[in-house]
Amino acid sequence: MRLDKLVYVLFQLMPQGFFALIGRAVEDAQNYVFKSVEVKETSRRFDGVFEPLRDDTTYFAEAQFQLDEQFYARLFAEIFIYLKQYGVRNWQAVVIYPNRKTEQKNLDGYRELIESGRVIRIYLDELPNAETMSKELGLFKLLIEPEKTAPTVARKLAENATLQQLDLLEQIIAYKFAKLTREEVKKMLGLQQELLKETQFYKDIYNDIYKEIRDAALRDGKEEGIKEGIKEGIKEGIKEGIKEGELKTVPLLRRLGLSDKQIAAELNLPLDLVQSVPPR
């Protein structure tokens, strides 16, 4: 996933952050629906359009993280075709840049329109420090935070964060530190295992790894045990449904972030036996 795509993830899952960026009340997000809209005559899509549920401004949200000297030509062409296609309405374009270096240099032909108030330009590196802002704005600033300081900033943002905000934090950190394991992401954010398990990002990965556990058990002919285990939940399924294949699941459970001591307790195995299983 490219970094600019994460901006649209933030728009979709946390629209309050968009309205905080443009200086509107975060409560205004309740009056909008976020969409990806096709502009038929260009066979292109606006990845981010905030359409009002009642009479209000339509926002075209664009994340531009690479220099493109044709950006404004394309942006305004698509906006005016959209207005023709869906009806003329009050509108503003909101362009998110990581810094001024990525903005088109030659503004001839577009300067008056850009400076008319129709275009809001936001440079993430000019926002205040992420720790001093609201969590909605802090998540946007975290996108460009240097790797050296990102862990400290992320831990600060994780304090008293909602599950949705924690989910977004995990996605950003996982992108910025692609080589980190799930356990290392958890440690970086300072999250407790119980809280981490509630985030959607964790659940998606848990489901993938649980499928590996289930497939391994099925190969050993333990389908009935798994079926019974599923009825009692994943935790009980691991305990009751894979009794004979416990050691095969140890590397997978480690990837879920469980310690050897926790695995030994869950599988009712001696700790030294679990510790003897080499990492995979």
Does residue 111 share a domain with residue 207?
A: no
Asked whether residue 34 falls in the same domain as residue 118, the answer is yes
Angle formed by the axes of helices 246-255 and 200-219, to 10°?
A: 160
221: in domain: yes
Across the chain, what does the average pLDDT equal? Answer: 79
In a domain, 255, yes or no: yes
> Does 226 reside within a domain?
yes
**Domain boundary residue, one of 99, 126, 153:** 126
Other C-beta atoms closer than 10 Å to the C-beta of 230 total 14
Do 116 and 210 share a domain, yes or no?
no
Domain boundary among 110, 126, 142: 126
Q: Does the residue 193 lie in any domain?
A: no
DSSP per position, 164-186: HHHHHHHHHHHHHTTT--HHHHH
Question: 113 pLDDT exceeds 50?
Answer: yes
pLDDT at site 246: 63
Same domain membership, residue 208 and residue 119: no
| Residue 112 binned pLDDT confidence (cut-offs 50, 70, 90) | very high
CATH code for the domain of 84: 3.40.1350
Q: Has residue 268 been placed in a domain? A: yes
Residues 215, 102 within the same domain? no
Q: What's the pLDDT at 271?
A: 85
pLDDT for 214 equals 47
Least confident of 20-24, 242-246, 275-279: 242-246
pLDDT at 194 > cutoff 60: no
Residue finishing a domain among 96, 126, 156: 126
Counted domains in the chain = 2
Domain encompassing residue 39: 3-126
Say how far apart CA 274 and CA 58 lie, in whole Å.
58
Q: For residue 256, is it within any domain?
A: yes
The tens digit of pLDDT for each residue in 74-84 reads: 999 999 999 98
Residue 9 and residue 121 share a domain: yes
- Quick check: is 121 in a domain? yes
pLDDT at 68: 95
Query: Are 8 and 121 found together in one domain?
Result: yes
User: Is 259 within the bounds of a domain?
Assistant: yes
- Of 222, 270, 19, 236, nearest to 122 (Cα)? 19
Q: Are residues 112 and 220 in the same domain?
A: no
Of 159, 160, 167, 157, the residue nearest 136 (C-alpha) = 157
pLDDT average, residue stretch 152-167: 85
Read off the pLDDT of residues 215-237 as tens digits, 9 standing for 90 and up.
554 454 444 454 555 545 545 54
